[in-house]
Amino acid sequence: MVPFAIHVDSNRTWGGGQEQSLGLALALAERGETVHFIVQQGSALAARLPATGLSFDDMSLRGARGILSYRRLVRRLRDLGPEIVHVHEAASGHLVAQAVGRLRRKGGSQQRLRLVVTRRTVFHADSMPSLPIYASLSDRVICVSEAVRACFPPAPNLRERLVVIPDFVDCKHFDPAAVSVERCDERPTMVSIGRLTKEKGHRVLLDALPMVLPEAPEARLVICAQGPEEERLRRQAESLGVAGAVEFAGFVLDVRPYLASADVFVMPSLSEGLGVAALEAMAMGKPVVATDAGGLPESVIHQETGLIVAAGRAEALAEAAISLLQHPAWARQMGEAGRARALAHYDRPRIVDRIVALYHEVLGGG
């Protein structure tokens, strides 16, 4: 039996973290478990939850408005009576931790309540005012990579609570055999997926394109994403003279057809916790060019499932992409190895089992 967990996710926008929190909740519901969400009012996740059939509350969880929701949060946790509260992002962590602490102090059955927090991004401890929630208030902190765990200071009361459990990919959903795509042309295609923010490194990727095209004149780059950097990136493509080779596909709900049509997947991140988009590409049997940012070298194995290059180096990105575009048999071999690695290490049922085992452990059952 899976302990009853309430999942808290206060992100306003949709991203990899929300894919993970919702995917975990749905996996638990598929096993017949009770699942409840508390999400940010007006968020993308709040908009999607009604269609899933999962129960949820939406309220302000961030900043000053979050403080005003504190009493409501405490009441909902008390009334729902979970064994675990699992926070999936840092912004609401302190507020939720305070609510859990208050309920624990009331004693009775609520004294058993446990707090689990997932950390998905690399950070500098000095710049993270919410670090005390990890140090003193949480029972376990799930780090999605060793790179994330390494960000935490070596305090004994903190380090013993850290556990590495990577994010997952649904290999049944991301299955090349299940996606039928007829390519309208034979142009070599590079695909990149990731919200258009500075840390995702798309500026560097566009800088690499003028070096790729002389070696692969018919190549094109498809970027499946949206975000605050979009207009700047469009202007950059124009100024570099490569706009004709770049397609900005915008936000794509189902990226599988794009991945299926790709010859190479490129993840040019400057900062990355693990890189779920890279896992999705691997599950689809695609070779990955990724940077050495954060946990990417843990998910993408250099010269086995893809090529790892230095973050921020356009020349290195270009060289790696050219190598794979010009050696399709090698690229296919890497793609096959990537699919095998995704199944062996990151498939959703495996990761969900590990999280459930962690729930039991913090409750004293493991």
Residue 340, classed as helix, strand or coil, is helix
pTM of the predicted structure, to 2 decimals: 0.93
Binned at pLDDT 50, 70 and 90, residue 315 comes out as very high
State the DSSP H helix or E strand holding residue 305, giving kind and residue range, or none if neither: none
pLDDT at 117 over 70: yes
Best mean pLDDT range from 59-63, 86-90, 250-254, 269-273: 269-273
Cα–Cα distance measured from residue 242 to residue 325, given in angstroms and rounded to the nearest whole number? 18
Contact present, 145 and 298 (Cβ < 8 Å): yes
- 148 token code pair: 């994330």
What burial class does residue 289 get, using C-beta atoms within 10 Å of its C-beta: 0-12 exposed, 13-18 middle, 19+ buried?
Answer: buried
Q: Which are the contacts of 236, defined by CB distance < 8 A and separation ≥ 6?
A: 203, 206, 207
Cα–Cα distance measured from residue 246 to residue 241, given in angstroms and rounded to the nearest whole number? 10
Q: For 85-100, how does the pLDDT look when each residue is reduced to its tens digit (9 = 90+)?
A: 999 988 888 889 889 9
Cα–Cα distance measured from residue 326 to residue 335, given in angstroms and rounded to the nearest whole number? 15
Domain boundaries, the chain: 5-168+347-362, 176-346
Any idea what DSSP says for residue 310? -
Q: Which residue has the tokens 């409501």?
A: 72
Pick the CATH number of 5-168+347-362 from 3.90.1580.10, 3.40.50.300, 3.40.50.2000, 3.40.605.10: 3.40.50.2000
Distance of CA 209 to the CA centre of its chain: 26
pLDDT greater at residue 63 or residue 329: 329
pLDDT greater at residue 365 or residue 328: 328
**Distance set, CA 97 to CA 62, 64, 100, 153 (Å):** 13, 16, 5, 20
**Distance set, CA 241 to CA 126, 211, 213, 246 (Å):** 41, 12, 11, 10
pLDDT at 63 over 90: no
Give the pLDDT confidence score for residue 132 in this predicted structure: 66
The CATH homologous superfamily for domain 176-346 is Glycogen Phosphorylase B; (3.40.50.2000)
- 287 token code pair: 């070779």
Cα–Cα distance measured from residue 338 to residue 279, given in angstroms and rounded to the nearest whole number? 8
Cα–Cα distance measured from residue 79 to residue 284, given in angstroms and rounded to the nearest whole number? 43
Contact present, 221 and 258 (Cβ < 8 Å): no
Cα–Cα distance measured from residue 99 to residue 82, given in angstroms and rounded to the nearest whole number? 13
Q: For 219-254, how does the pLDDT look when each residue is reduced to its tens digit (9 = 90+)?
A: 999 999 999 999 999 999 999 999 999 999 999 989
Give the pLDDT confidence score for residue 158 in this predicted structure: 83
Any idea what DSSP says for residue 343? I
CA dihedral (308, 195, 173, 327) positive or negative: negative
Q: Which residue has the tokens 């509260």?
A: 85
Gyration radius of the chain over CA positions: 21
Cα–Cα distance measured from residue 62 to residue 54, given in angstroms and rounded to the nearest whole number? 22
Q: Is the fold of 5-168+347-362 the same as that of 176-346?
A: yes
